[in-house]
């Protein structure tokens, strides 16, 4: 708009320029806004040490206290195992969108000056394919003991067998071992429910 000249006095030119103004100020007709890798905090498989993303591979975890430096000490970011009658036990691993790969803090527990709301960090618990794996958590295709993302698509029926797939969120091809803050699964467990399991309130 700023680079349009002032409307001249002639009605003919004023009508034309006003029509251009109307066209330029209409909302864009984009029904789905693609998200960039930067906006989604995308991390490659190499950037994750070829491990699924979880609190147990995050520099923000206080290892002894099983707490997160960004969330504070009122919430545990620990694994838990549960089983519904007739089903095999399932192990669940915590992770959030702020996961930062590296060694957890092995010293005295420390916390951010202003802690974050776990809802805003996207903290959830993620089921592992088996109980007792060295590492569980999230990645695109579910390789290396991870759980796959609902947004990851491959042509075949086995997501883990394909080295890369199409991400519906980023609208591009991504490697199976990568992850981003938009990871999602229809059977992820909320942090509220997870706390009840960790505290032994429910089995």
**Binding stretches for ligand SF4 (CB under 6 A):** 40, 42, 55, 58, 60-61, 68, 70-71, 77, 94-96, 98-99, 121, 123, 140, 149, 151-152, 167, 169-170, 174, 178-180, 182-183
How far apart are alpha carbons 158 and 160 in whole angstroms?
6
Kindly state the smallest distance separating residue 1's Cβ from ligand SF4, in Å: 36
Nearer to ligand SF4, 90 or 100 (CB): 100
- Residues for the chain: how many in total? 203
CA 118, 120, 125, 126: dihedral to nearest 10 degrees?
A: -160
Burial of 25 (0-12, 13-18, 19+ CB in 10 A): exposed
C-beta of residue 99 within 8 angstroms of C-beta of residue 124: no
Strands (E), 31-127: 61-62, 67-68, 80-82, 90-95, 124-127
Nearer to ligand SF4, 143 or 170 (CB): 170
**Closer to ligand SF4 by Cβ: residue 17 or 159:** 159
Nearer to ligand SF4, 8 or 163 (CB): 163
Q: Least distance (Å) from ligand SF4 to the CB of residue 154?
A: 10
Q: With respect to ligand SF4, which residue has the nearer C-beta, 133 or 162? A: 162
Smallest distance from the beta carbon of 109 to ligand SF4, in angstroms? 12
**What DSSP string describes 160-177?**
GGSSEEEETTTTEEEETT
In the complex, minimum distance from the CB of residue 90 to ligand SF4, in angstroms, rounded to a whole number? 19
11: phi then psi, degrees, rounded to nearest 5: -60, -35
DSSP reduced 3-state for 17: helix
Nearer to ligand SF4, 63 or 90 (CB): 63
Nearest distance, CB of residue 147 and ligand SF4, angstroms: 10
**Residue 128 CB, nearest distance to ligand SF4 (Å)?**
15
In this structure, what DSSP letter does residue 103 have? P
């Amino acid at each position: 708009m700023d680079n349009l000249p002032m409307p001249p006095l002639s009605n003919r030119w004023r009508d034309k320029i006003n029509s251009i103004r109307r066209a330029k100020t209409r909302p864009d007709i984009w029904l789905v806004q693609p998200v960039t890798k930067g906006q989604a905090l995308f991390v490659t498989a190499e950037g994750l040490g070829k491990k699924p993303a979880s609190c147990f591979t995050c520099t923000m975890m206080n290892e002894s206290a099983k707490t997160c430096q960004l969330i504070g000490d009122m919430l545990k970011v620990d694994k838990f195992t549960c089983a519904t009658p007739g089903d095999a036990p399932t192990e669940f691993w915590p992770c959030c969108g702020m996961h930062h790969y590296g060694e957890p803090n092995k010293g005295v527990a420390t916390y951010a000056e202003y802690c974050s709301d776990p809802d805003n960090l996207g903290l959830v618990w993620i089921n592992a394919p088996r109980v007792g794996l060295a590492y569980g958590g999230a990645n695109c295709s579910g390789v290396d003991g991870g759980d796959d993302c609902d947004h990851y698509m491959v042509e075949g029926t086995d997501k883990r067998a394909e080295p890369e797939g199409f991400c519906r969120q980023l609208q591009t091809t991504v490697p199976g071992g990568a992850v981003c803050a938009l990871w999602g699964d229809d059977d992820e467990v909320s942090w509220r429910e997870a706390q009840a399991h960790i505290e032994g309130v429910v089995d």
